[in-house]
């Protein structure tokens, strides 16, 4: 018999916690039944194909999420059989070279983020799968018990060095060894192929793990550098404001000093013209009182004027804030109304397409193949570039600046005449790693 049994195994903390036939899993996908044990969890699962000798011949490692009712969340539509048909080879689990599809070895690139890598150190994940198959909790009918003992083969070493016990039995032993030699070579080649495939898979998973760590570290460094640049820009802006305020105060002080000097000169002239000490004191007292009165009156007038201006500004700000709140409320209402209209008009068609296995995929620089859920279609159609920027975890302005650099990677430093430097640069492939003023500048103009 060559029939294969298809099953799904759910893994938590490196151990198989639940098994079901693929037909039962399809019932879960069709929302016929749920899995209450996995309510509100995201699990690692494996789609396996098992032959009649209870050996695993293929495995697809995928991630699946359940809602609070134990139903599968979202439009889960990974083509497990298609991925397995086009998968690369992995280790030998007893039934020959095994086909494996995982995050590091995914035959279809846009499903890569929905897969996970098995633990290759000591074949921990594969050992758990093999042990689960051998326990046979699903009750799979096996032909292993009906199969007779394997025919023993004689290696070249024993055929050449072990003498026969009887003279008349030597020809039969030699003939058996000669017939076993091709079988040994074939099994050796299969074993060598399995070892090579397992090693390639292990190297791919290790490379993917290091690549993920490197990208995470690079993103963290870029984020910290951006924060420091923002802090530096804020400090520079604050310093510029302090310098401008200081200049204004110095100018005001100089003006007051000039007025004081003029008044002093005027008072000295009046004192000289008074001619006597009594007249001098009387005139000085009059001038002092007059000056104090004028100064007090001016200060009161300025205080009233500033208070009126402040009240007007506060009223204007209050009216503006009220208008902004009303406009935002109206905009939110219109967006929600537009979204409801889009969903009501096209929801049936989108639902029919999603149920028939149609995957909405768009290409955007920085994301490559973008898989769009049915519920996200209105927001994507409303503003594709904003949707792509949100998926890249950057602002729309930063995504647009990166897009200019991505389409034409040249130095964008401008001279006084408004001409670009135009020096070719290395293209930054991810918007999150793009830094304006550095990624789009050559070595001579960087930081300028």
pLDDT at 18: 95
pLDDT tens for residues 20-64? 999 999 999 988 998 999 999 999 999 999 998 999 999 999 999
Residue that the structure tokens 């032959």 belong to: 51
What mean pLDDT is predicted for residues 241-267?
Answer: 86
pLDDT at 128: 93
Which residue did the predictor score with more confidence, 11 or 191? 11
Dump strand ranges (E) for 5-96. 5-12, 15-21, 42-50, 56-65, 88-92
pLDDT tens for residues 142-161? 765 454 444 433 333 333 44
What mean pLDDT is predicted for residues 348-358?
Answer: 73
Count of other CB atoms within 10 angstroms of residue 394: 20
- Three-state DSSP at 292 gives helix
Residue that the structure tokens 């290395």 belong to: 426
Stretch among 238-242, 268-272, 417-421 having the lowest mean pLDDT: 268-272
Tell whether the torsion through CA atoms of 386, 361, 355 and 100 is positive or negative: negative
Predicted model pTM: 0.45
Whether the predicted pLDDT of 221 surpasses 80: no
pLDDT at 234: 86
pLDDT at 195: 61
What mean pLDDT is predicted for residues 275-302?
Answer: 80
pLDDT band at 288 (very low <50, low <70, confident <90, very high): confident
pLDDT at 184: 56
Are 359 and 350 a contacting pair, CB within 8 Å?
no
pLDDT at 196: 61
Whether the predicted pLDDT of 280 surpasses 70: no
DSSP code of 279? Answer: H
Burial 412-448 (b: 16+ CB within 10 A, else e): bbeeeeeeeeeeebeebebbbbbbeeebbbeeebeee
Q: Which residues pair with 66 in a beta bridge?
A: 72
By percentage, how much of the chain surpasses pLDDT 90? Answer: 22
User: What number of CA atoms fall less than 13 Å from residue 370's CA on the CB side?
Assistant: 19
Angle, helices 396-407/384-391, rounded to nearest 10 degrees: 90
What mean pLDDT is predicted for residues 386-394?
Answer: 89
Whether the predicted pLDDT of 282 surpasses 80: no
């Amino acid at each position: 018999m060559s029939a294969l049994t298809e099953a799904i195994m759910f893994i938590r903390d490196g151990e198989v916690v639940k098994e079901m036939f693929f037909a039962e899993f399809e019932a879960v996908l069709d929302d016929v039944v749920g899995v209450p044990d996995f309510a509100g969890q995201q699990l690692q699962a494996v789609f396996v194909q098992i032959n009649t000798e209870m050996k695993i011949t293929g495995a697809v490692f995928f991630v699946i999420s359940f809602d609070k009712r134990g139903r599968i969340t979202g439009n889960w539509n990974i083509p497990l059989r298609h991925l397995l048909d086009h998968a690369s080879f992995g280790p030998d689990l007893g039934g020959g070279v095994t086909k494996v599809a995982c995050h590091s070895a995914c035959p279809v690139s846009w499903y890569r983020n929905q897969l996970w890598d098995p633990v290759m150190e000591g074949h921990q994940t594969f050992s758990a799968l093999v042990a689960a198959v051998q326990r046979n909790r699903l009750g799979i009918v096996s032909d292993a018990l009906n199969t007779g003992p394997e025919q023993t083969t004689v290696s070249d070493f024993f055929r050449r060095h072990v003498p026969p016990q009887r003279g008349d039995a030597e020809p039969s032993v030699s003939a058996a060894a000669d017939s076993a030699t091709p079988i040994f070579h074939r099994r050796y080649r299969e074993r060598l192929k399995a070892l090579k495939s397992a090693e390639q898979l292990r190297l791919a998973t290790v490379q993917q793990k290091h690549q993920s760590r490197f990208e995470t570290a690079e993103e963290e460094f870029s984020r910290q550098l951006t924060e420091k640049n923002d802090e530096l820009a804020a400090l520079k802006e604050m310093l510029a404001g302090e310098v401008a305020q200081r200049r204004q105060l110095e100018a005001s002080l100089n003006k007051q000093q000039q007025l004081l000097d003029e008044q002093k000169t005027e008072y000295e002239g009046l004192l000289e013209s008074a001619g006597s000490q009594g007249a001098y004191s009387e005139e000085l007292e009059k001038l002092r009182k007059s000056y104090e009165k004028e100064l007090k009156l001016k200060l009161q007038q300025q205080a009233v004027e500033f208070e009126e201006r402040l009240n007007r500004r506060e009223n204007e700000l209050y009216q503006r804030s009220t208008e902004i709140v009303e406009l935002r409320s109206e905009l939110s209402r219109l967006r929600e109304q537009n979204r409801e209209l889009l969903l009501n008009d096209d929801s049936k068609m989108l639902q029919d397409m999603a149920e028939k296995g149609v995957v909405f995929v768009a290409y955007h620089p920085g994301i490559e193949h973008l898989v769009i859920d049915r519920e996200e279609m209105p927001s994507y159609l409303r503003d594709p570039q904003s949707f792509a920027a949100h998926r890249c975890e950057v602002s729309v302005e930063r995504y647009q600046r990166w897009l200019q650099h991505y389409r034409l990677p040249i130095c964008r430093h401008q001279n006084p005449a408004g001409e670009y430097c135009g020096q070719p640069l290395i293209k930054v492939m991810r918007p999150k790693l793009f830094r304006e003023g550095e990624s789009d500048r050559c070595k001579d103009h960087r930081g300028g």
